[in-house]
Amino acid sequence: MSDFPFLLAMIAVPAVGAAVLAALPPSRQALARQLAMAVSLLVLLLAVLATVAFNTGGDRFQLTTSVTWIADFGVSFALGVDGIALVMLLLIGVLVPVVIGASWDERAAGNRSMRTYWAWLLLLESMMVGVFAATDVFLFYVFFEAMLIPMYFLIGSFGGPNRQYAAVKFFLYSLLGGLVMLASVIGLYVVSNSQLGEGTFAFDALRQLDIDPGVQKLLFLGFFVAFAIKAPLVPFHTWLPDAGAEAPVGSAVLLVGVLDKVGTFGFLRYCLPLFPDASRDLAPWVLVLAVVGILYAALVAMGQSDMKRLVSYTSIAHFGFIALGIFAFSTEAATGAVLYMVNHGIATGLLFLVVGMVITRSGSRQIRDHGGLAAKAPLLAGVFLLAGLASLALPGTNSFVSEFLVLIGSFPREPVFTVLATAGIVLAALYVLLMYQRVFHGPPRGVLVDAEPRPEATGGGSTAVLTAPAPARTSRVLDLSRRELAVVAPLVALVIGLGVYPQPLIDLIDPAVQATMSDVGVDPGGSAPEAPGGTD
C-alpha cells in the first residue's frame, strides 16, 4: 500500500482533470462541475490515504518517488513528504472541494465559462501539491513559478473590477521573488558542484553541505526574499490586499489559505535546514519584520472599508505570527507555526467564504453598504461570527491552539518580540468584531434591507465577472442555502474539531519540526508538546 505513488497521483489526477475539463464543450457546465468536484474529492481521498500510509515514527521523507529528469543539470523529479508537507496536502485536499462547491451555481460574465474556471482551479491544485511534495530544489522552483500561471488567470479572468491590475501585480511580485530565488538555487548547485564533485538539487544532499557563512547569507537572502513576498511579510506585502480583494472568493481562499503558505513552508523547509548559520544570524531582522507585520497589518485592517481587503490584511498579520514561530527557533513555537499554517487556511478560508456569501447577496464589498443583517440571516451571521472568532484565536477554536503554542514557545527565547506580538491579539479582536458588528448588527442598512437599492451602493463587486443568481430579498432566502451550508460545514467542523482535539495533527508535524530544529542546531529536547487547554 505504501508503495503506491500517492504524491504522483495527487499531482497527475487534478492535472488530467483540468485537461479533460478544458476539452469539454462549453455547454456542459453541469457535467464540468460534477467532474471537477469528483476529481477534487478523489485528491482528498488520496491525501487521506497517504496520511494513513505515512508512518510518524519513520523516515523524515516518506512516500518518495524519484526519477532522473534533466541529467545535465542534476535534476530529479523527486517527490516525498515530511509531516509538515503532509498536513499542507491535507489542507489542499479539504479546501479545493469546498471552493468548487462554493462556486457551484456561479455564472461567468461575457463569454468566459465556468468550465475554464474549474479547469484552472484543478491545475492550480496539481501545482500546489507539487510545490509541497517536491524534494528537489529545482523541481520545487519549477512548481513555485508554474503555480503562478493558473492563479494569474483565475484573478485576471474571473476577478473583481480591478482584476487586471491585481493579476499583474500578483504575478510580477511573485515572479521577481522567484527569480531572486533562482539565483540562490543556482548558487546552491554551484556550491554542491564544488563540494560533492557533482552538482545536485536533491534536498537531502544539499542539507549536508558546509557552506561558507558569507555565501550562506547571500543564498539565504535569495530564498528569503522569495518566501517573504509569497507569505507576505511587511514590507513585501502590498500585492496581497489587491489580489485578495480582486480574486474571486474561491481563488482568494486558495491564495491566502495555501499559496501563501508556500512562503512560510519555504522558511521551514529550505531557509532553516539549508542555511542554519545564516538563519540564526539574520533571525532578529526577520523577527522585526514579523512583529512589525503583526501590528501594522492589524492597524491597517481596522481602517479598511472593503471586507475582502480587510480579511487580506488580517492574513498578513497572521503570517507575522507564523514567521515569529518559525524564527524563534524552539520546537514548540515551530510546531505552533506549522499548526497555524493549517488553521489559518481553515479559519481564514471560512471567513473569506462567508464574506463572499455576504457580497453575493448585496453585490458590494463595502462594509458601509451593510447593516443589521443578523436579523434576516441568522445562520450566515453565526458562521461569520465563528469564522471571525477563529480568526482572532478564541480558545476553543482551532487557531487558539496554534497561536498559543507560538507565543509560549517564543517567549523564553524572544520575550520582547513575543510581548509586542501579543498586542496583535487585542487588535485582532477589534478588527474582526468591528466588521461583524457593522455588517450584522445595528440599524438595518444597505442594499439588502432597504426597500430600494441605493444606486451608489454598488461599488465593489457589481462588475465582477463571477455572479451567482441573486436571492430574492426575503429573510428565508437571504440566509444560507443548503448548498452553502454544505460548503461551510466541513470547515466549521474543522474549526471546532481541531480546536478541541489538535493532537493528531501535532503528532504528524512534530517529528518533522524536530528534524528541522536539529538541522538549525536547536536541541529539540522533550517530547511532542501537548495541546494546551484544548483537550480538557
Partner 1 sequence: MGPITAPSLSYTALAPLLFVFGAAAVGVLVEAFAPRAVRHPVQVVLALVGTVGAFVATLLLAGTEEVTAGGALAVDGAALFLQGTIAVLGALSVLLFSERAVDPARSAFVAVAAVPAGSVRDRELATSTRVQTEVYPLASFAIGGMMLFTASNDLLIMFVALEVLSLPLYLLSGLARRRRLLSQEAAVKYFLLGAFASAFFLYGLALVYGATGSVRLSAIRDAAVTEGGDTLMVLGLALLVVGLMFKASVAPFHTWTPDVYQGAPTAVTAFMAAATKVAAFGAVLRLLYVAFGTADWTWRPLVYGLAIVSMLVGAVLGLTQTDLKRMLAYSSIAHAGFLLTGVIGLGPGDSGYGLAATMFYLLTYGLTTLGAFGLLTLVRDGDGEATHLSQWAGLAQRSPIVAALMAFFLLALAGIPLTSGFTGKFAVFRAAIEDGAWPLAVVALVASAIAAFFYLRVVVLMYFSPAAPDGPTVGVPGLPTTIVLAITAAATLVLGILPGAVLDLAESAAVLVG
Cβ atoms within 10 Å of 496's Cβ, excluding its own: 15
- What distance in Å separates the CA atoms of residue 72 and residue 330, rounded to the nearest whole number? 39
Closer Cβ to partner 1, 12 or 45, answer by number: 12
- What distance in Å separates the CA atoms of residue 380 and residue 509, rounded to the nearest whole number? 33
Name the β-bridge partners of 76: 68
172 counts as binding partner 1 under rule CB under 8 A: yes
Closest by Cα among 46, 84, 65, 220 to 135: 65
The residue with cell 529536547 is 525
Task: Report which DSSP code applies to 232.
Answer: T
**What's the grid cell of residue 527?**
517530547
196 counts as binding partner 1 under rule CB under 8 A: no
180 counts as binding partner 1 under rule CB under 8 A: yes
- What distance in Å separates the CA atoms of residue 448 and residue 358, rounded to the nearest whole number? 10
70 counts as binding partner 1 under rule CB under 8 A: yes
Peptide bond into 235 cis (omega under 30): yes
Give the pairing of strands 75-81 and 62-70: antiparallel
492 counts as binding partner 1 under rule CB under 8 A: no
Interface segment toward partner 1; rule CB under 8 A; list 31-39, 52-60, 160-168, 246-254: 160-168
Closer Cβ to partner 1, 171 or 431, answer by number: 171
187 counts as binding partner 1 under rule CB under 8 A: yes
Q: How far is the CB of 95 from partner 1 (least distance, A)?
A: 24
**What's the grid cell of residue 115?**
468550465
Interface pattern 84-113 for partner 1 (x via CB under 8 A): --------------------------xx--
Interface pattern 271-310 for partner 1 (x via CB under 8 A): ----------------------------------------
Interface segment toward partner 1; rule CB under 8 A; list 2-10, 136-144, 202-210, 403-411: 136-144
429 counts as binding partner 1 under rule CB under 8 A: no
Query: Could you tell me if 234 and 296 are in contact, meaning their C-beta atoms sit under 8 angstroms apart?
Result: yes
The b/e string for 212-242 (b: 16+ C-beta within 10 A; e otherwise) is eeeebbebbbbbbbbbbbbbbbbebbebbbb
Closer Cβ to partner 1, 56 or 463, answer by number: 463
Q: How far is the CB of 182 from partner 1 (least distance, A)?
A: 6
**Binding partner 1 by CB under 8 A: which of 193, 208, 422, 535?**
193
Interface segment toward partner 1; rule CB under 8 A; list 41-49, 170-178, 326-334, 441-449: 170-178
**What's the grid cell of residue 441?**
448588527
Helices and strands (H, E) in the chain, number of each type: 23, 6
Number of residues binding to partner 1, judged by CB under 8 A: 34
Name the β-bridge partners of 70: 75
User: Residue 168: which H helix or E strand, with range?
Assistant: helix 163-196
**Binding partner 1 by CB under 8 A: which of 61, 132, 153, 319?**
153
**Binding partner 1 by CB under 8 A: which of 30, 71, 451, 472?**
71
73 counts as binding partner 1 under rule CB under 8 A: yes
Q: How far is the CB of 309 from partner 1 (least distance, A)?
A: 20
- What distance in Å separates the CA atoms of residue 320 and residue 293, rounded to the nearest whole number? 5
156 counts as binding partner 1 under rule CB under 8 A: yes
141 counts as binding partner 1 under rule CB under 8 A: yes
Would you tell me which residues interact with partner 1 (CB under 8 A)?
A: 69-73, 110-111, 141-143, 145-146, 148-149, 153, 156-157, 163-164, 167-168, 171-172, 175-176, 179-180, 182-183, 186-187, 189-190, 193
